[in-house]
Amino acid sequence: MAAGKTAQHTINVHHVNTVIVGAGAAGMNSAAHLYEFMSQKGVPNPEEKIAVVTAGIGLGASRMSGSDKQTYYKIGTSPDVPDSAQEHAKTLTAAGCCHGDLALAEAIGSLREFYHLVRVGVPFPTDSMGTFIGYKTDNDPFERATSAGPKTSRFMSQCLQKQLERYGVPIYDNQEVVHLLTVGSGESKRIAGVVTIDRLVGWGLPHHQDRRAKSPPYRLKINVFLGSNIILAAGGPGELYRASVYPKGQVGIHGLAFKAGLVAENLTESQFGLASIKFRWNVSGTYMQAIPRVFSTDAHGGDQREFLADFFPSMSKMATSIFLKGYQWPFDPQRIENSQSSLIDILVFSETQKGRRVFMDFLHNPIGNPAFSRMKDFHLDDLEPEAYNYLKKAGALQSTPIERLFTMNPPAVEIYKGNGIDLYCEPLEIAVCAQHNNGGFAVDKWWQSNIPHTFVIGEMAGTHGVKRPGGSALNAGQVGGLRAAEYIVNVYGSDLPDYSKEQSEIDGQLTDLINKLAIYKSAAGLACEEVIEQIQSRMTESAGHIRELNDARKALREAVKLYKDIQQRGFNSQNAQGLVRAIQAEHLALSSVAYLKAIVELLEQGSGSRGSHLVLAEDGIQIHPDIIDKATGCALEFKPENKALRDSILQIEYDDSSPDLFRCRTVKPRSIPAARKAFEPAWQDYREGRIYS
Ligand SMILES: Cc1cc2nc3c(=O)[nH]c(=O)nc-3n(C[C@H](O)[C@H](O)[C@H](O)COP(=O)(O)OP(=O)(O)OC[C@H]3O[C@@H](n4cnc5c(N)ncnc54)[C@H](O)[C@@H]3O)c2cc1C
């Protein structure tokens, strides 16, 4: 199907060397490096060889998400604390299931990419000697973290966008990806291109006219971006969860990538943590270090309770645990026992499960439960030394949390103000939310997927293991984009694609897509908002931070059924916007099957609580006699980590002949490369391009 018009829709075909899906920090950085590598090779007009395609420049986690000081994790730049790439890689792989070659590449590439960001204008702070000042983040034994403030990733994407604009690289905005075109099969299978629907064109006639017409008169503008290489940088599948701090509209394209044949790894390792829900934002770092009061109310805001106080032995322990949640932000089942900081996530969740609402109150210090006289009043002097010394060093020993927060981090207060929440006047509603997936699509050390010429970078790539230091996601996204660009230009070259021999395969898929769109507006079809709501509820209930095998199995069965129902019944979309939403619902449904299948498989392997999720077991460790498992009515007990599984990465691949639509296998993590060559032979390898083999 060449460019032109079908009976209903317009189709435009673009040919470029590399199509990049996603305009977050990862995608735009990779596009900039592609341009630079092509220029260095003398390729004329490199900007014409690259297309960045996105559902929205203003969408995605990089643009819209952050925390008190959003973190970038790199090799330490302290003038007096030595660090090395090998040590850095060891930190990244420490909790298991992380490939050593990726960890080492991320470590080695971290400074190159960090300085690239500095060069394009991201305002990472220095002292008067030019030192980039570091601090400690979660799962980080050193002070490798740095930050440009609450909106680090937004600055990154804005600065990188300006760089692309200077280079003249086109960004195709408002393009919803609806299909990945594949050609060939087996080892010669390739992703030849990306099909999008323009989200601004064809939004149809008013509803009453639509209903009168036999065939609704909406026309779509369909774009086909054919590329010799494809870089997928569409971020995480944020819309999979109901309780989510991913920005609204961050759908991702996991389901489409599975359909195209990409293999994923470590999907089970999502991260969850406390976040504000009215305005979606992480309440990590100084929000917690300021030690606000945390209380709950009934659904209407009445019946305030100091619910944490019943579960901590003293005010000192409770207040210190609130403080530590700052840099122990993600929920961590290994930090529950003995009243550690992740007990707070469990208590917040248990409170919301009862239909109550939980708030952080920055105007008051934590309060003990008036029913228990054993808990003393809050005094800064009673904090455990780690918390007290930190606050003292930060000059934050003021008497109220809001003063301490403002002293440590004024932008953290301003970001809420800018989004309609004044922390000086109102408490902040929070919940335990899905925030990030450490897993994603499997890549080699050049971020190439199992399908040659297709690369996956940023959050869509599964480069992290069970745990990752805070800030390493942003670094991984930058390094992955650099590595993919370097490989593409040096190995695959800068030519435009020629898919003339595969034209019939491409036409067939486009025809199938257009036929599918036609059945997605049948009156007997499913309502896509209901479908999405069903997916999100199921994922939050059964694939969140608390998991149980029988429940996960049931959820998987329901998810498979929903996906099959969609195939049979289609959707009842009323207009072109509805069609886009229907496509999203379909691939989210497939993604949810993949995530649940991976969870069931891991639980069946005998996994325990690890990373950012807790596994329930009848003969496990009791958290507290009053923390009840809703399903059984008994005290909640969890199974400790099965450490043997640290050396086993769970892979998952779409297989429509399998009853659960996916098949799983395990692979061993690749080790951290230790071989080093002397300069001369290494130089020869480099000159002869053997570094890419
Ligand atoms: C609240 C919060 C706080 C965080 N804090 C940190 C932190 O401190 N440090 C850290 O390292 N990481 C942090 N992360 C994670 C980090 O922000 C993300 O992993 C990272 O920004 C992802 O970048 P990306 O470029 O891969 O994807 P994104 O920035 O999510 O970009 C995805 C792109 O793909 C496009 N897209 C998505 N779906 C489609 C579709 N269907 N069709 C077409 N285009 C599509 C989007 O429009 C967007 O352009 C945080 C995440 C959240 C949610």
Ligand 1 neighbourhood includes 234 CB (under 6 angstroms): yes
Residue-wise pLDDT tens digits, 303-319: 999 999 989 989 999 99
Question: What's the whole-number mean pLDDT along residues 431-452?
Answer: 97
Non-local CB neighbours of 383 within 8 Å, separated by 6+ positions: 291, 316, 319, 320, 323, 391
Q: Among 6, 3, 21, which Cα is nearest to 441's?
A: 21
Give me the residue label for tokens 């099957």: 593
Ligand 1 neighbourhood includes 252 CB (under 6 angstroms): yes
What is the 82 CA–ligand 1 centroid distance (Å)?
A: 31
Q: Measure Cα distances from 91 to 104, 142, 237, 280 in Å.
A: 10, 9, 26, 29
Question: What's the whole-number mean pLDDT along residues 595-610?
Answer: 97
Upper half-sphere CA count for residue 68 (Cβ side, 13 Å): 23
Residue 449's pLDDT is: 98
Three-state SS letters, 314-345: CHHHHHHHHHHCCCCCCCCHHHCHHHCCCHHH
Ligand 1 neighbourhood includes 341 CB (under 6 angstroms): no
Please say whether the beta carbons of 609 and 639 come within 8 A. yes
Ligand 1 neighbourhood includes 473 CB (under 6 angstroms): yes
Question: What's the whole-number mean pLDDT along residues 669-690?
Answer: 96
Ligand 1 neighbourhood includes 25 CB (under 6 angstroms): yes
| Summary mean pLDDT of the chain | 93
Residue nearest to atom 9 of ligand 1 (CA): 471
Confidence band, pLDDT 50/70/90 cuts, at residue 563: very high
Ligand 1 neighbourhood includes 223 CB (under 6 angstroms): no
Residue 500's pLDDT is: 95
Q: Measure Cα distances from 476 to 23, 29, 117, 363, 685 in Å.
A: 16, 12, 13, 38, 25
Ligand 1 neighbourhood includes 61 CB (under 6 angstroms): yes
Q: Among 458, 25, 71, which Cα is nearest to 237's?
A: 458
What stretch of H or E contains 16?
strand 10-21
What is the 265 CA–ligand 1 centroid distance (Å)?
A: 18
Residue-wise pLDDT tens digits, 286-345: 999 999 999 999 999 999 999 999 899 899 999 999 999 998 889 999 999 888 889 999
Amino acid symbol at 288: M
Ligand 1 neighbourhood includes 436 CB (under 6 angstroms): yes
Q: Which residues face 193 on adjacent strands?
A: 181, 226
Give me the residue label for tokens 């009243």: 339
* Ligand 1 atom having least distance to the Cα of 147: 8
Question: What's the whole-number mean pLDDT along residues 576-605?
Answer: 96
Asked if residue 1 has pLDDT above 60, the reply is: no
Please say whether the beta carbons of 435 and 290 come within 8 A. no
Distance from C-alpha of 666 to C-alpha of 664, rounded to nearest angstrom: 7
Q: Give the chain's end-to-end CA distance (angstroms, integer).
A: 37
What is the 683 CA–ligand 1 centroid distance (Å)?
A: 37
Ligand 1 neighbourhood includes 250 CB (under 6 angstroms): yes
Ligand 1 neighbourhood includes 71 CB (under 6 angstroms): yes
Residue 673's pLDDT is: 96
* Ligand 1 atom having least distance to the Cα of 60: 30
Exposure letters 84-112 (e unless 16+ CB within 10 A, then b): ebeebbbbbbbbbbbbbbbbbbbbbbbbe
Q: Measure Cα distances from 522 to 400, 509, 525 in Å.
A: 58, 21, 5
Amino acid symbol at 416: Y
Is the Cα dihedral 606, 610, 611, 613 positive or negative? positive
Task: Choose between 285 and 168: higher pLDDT.
Answer: 168
Asked if residue 210 has pLDDT above 60, the reply is: no
Q: Measure Cα distances from 620 to 251, 423, 630 in Å.
A: 36, 40, 16
Ligand 1 neighbourhood includes 360 CB (under 6 angstroms): no
Distance from C-alpha of 566 to C-alpha of 531, rounded to nearest angstrom: 9
SS3 666: strand
Lowest-pLDDT range, 153-167, 376-390, 441-455, 511-525? 511-525
Distance from C-alpha of 545 to C-alpha of 610, rounded to nearest angstrom: 10
Residue 626's pLDDT is: 81
DSSP conformational letter for 58? T
Please say whether the beta carbons of 189 and 199 come within 8 A. no
Q: Token pair of 508, please?
A: 């067939």
Work out whether strand 10-21 and strand 221-232 pair parallel, antiparallel, or are unpaired. Answer: parallel
Q: Token pair of 236, please?
A: 């995480």
Question: What's the whole-number mean pLDDT along residues 72-86?
Answer: 91
Distance from C-alpha of 95 to C-alpha of 297, rounded to nearest angstrom: 37
Asked if residue 204 has pLDDT above 70, the reply is: no
Residue of 19, 29, 62 with the most ligand 1 atoms within 8 Å of its CB, for mutation: 62
Confidence band, pLDDT 50/70/90 cuts, at residue 212: very low
Asked if residue 374 has pLDDT above 80, the reply is: no
Confidence band, pLDDT 50/70/90 cuts, at residue 74: very high
Residue-wise pLDDT tens digits, 564-584: 999 999 999 888 888 899 999
Residue 3's pLDDT is: 59
* Ligand 1 atom having least distance to the Cα of 57: 49
Ligand 1 neighbourhood includes 17 CB (under 6 angstroms): no
Residue of 459, 478, 479 with the most ligand 1 atoms within 8 Å of its CB, for mutation: 459
Ligand 1 neighbourhood includes 586 CB (under 6 angstroms): no
Asked if residue 235 has pLDDT above 60, the reply is: yes
Ligand 1 neighbourhood includes 437 CB (under 6 angstroms): no
Residue 633's pLDDT is: 81
What is the 500 CA–ligand 1 centroid distance (Å)?
A: 35
Task: Choose between 222 and 370: higher pLDDT.
Answer: 222
Question: What's the whole-number mean pLDDT along residues 414-442?
Answer: 96
Strand ranges, E, within 417-540 = 428-437, 440-441, 454-456
Q: Among 519, 580, 570, 514, which Cα is nearest to 10's?
A: 514
SS3 65: coil
Asked if residue 202 has pLDDT above 70, the reply is: no
* Ligand 1 atom having least distance to the Cα of 73: 11
Non-local CB neighbours of 265 within 8 Å, separated by 6+ positions: 439, 440, 441, 442, 462, 649, 650, 651, 652, 667
Non-local CB neighbours of 536 within 8 Å, separated by 6+ positions: 239, 240, 241, 242, 244
Residue 215's pLDDT is: 47
Work out whether strand 637-639 and strand 10-21 pair parallel, antiparallel, or are unpaired. Answer: unpaired
